[in-house]
Amino acid sequence: MVGGFTRPILTISRTYRNNTIMPGSATLFFVNDDGYAITTKHVVQSLMMSDQVNENYRKFKSALDEAPANRRKAMLHMLEKEYGYKPGVLIQQKSTFVDCVVGGSGFTCITHPEYDLAVIRFNDPEEMRYEGHAVFARDGSYAEPGDFLCRIGFPFPEFTNFAYDEERDDIVWTQEGRVSTPRFPIDGMMTRQIADSNGTIFGIEMSTPGLRGQSGGPLFDEDGIIYGMQFATKHLHLGFDIIDMKIQSGGMERTVSNQPFLHVGHCIYVEVIKDFLREKDIEFFEEE
- The pLDDT tens digits of the residues spanning 184-212 come to 999 999 999 999 999 999 999 999 999 99
pLDDT (0 to 100) of residue 69: 85
3-state secondary structure of 55: helix
pLDDT (0 to 100) of residue 153: 97
> Nearest-5° angle of CA 252, CA 255, CA 256?
120
pLDDT (0 to 100) of residue 201: 96
Confidence (pTM) = 0.92
Q: Whole-angstrom Cα distance, residue 130 to residue 207?
A: 30
pLDDT (0 to 100) of residue 98: 96
Q: Rounded to whole angstroms, what are the CA distances from 134 to 2, 3, 148, 228, 279?
A: 7, 10, 19, 11, 18
Segments of the chain with pLDDT less than 70 = none
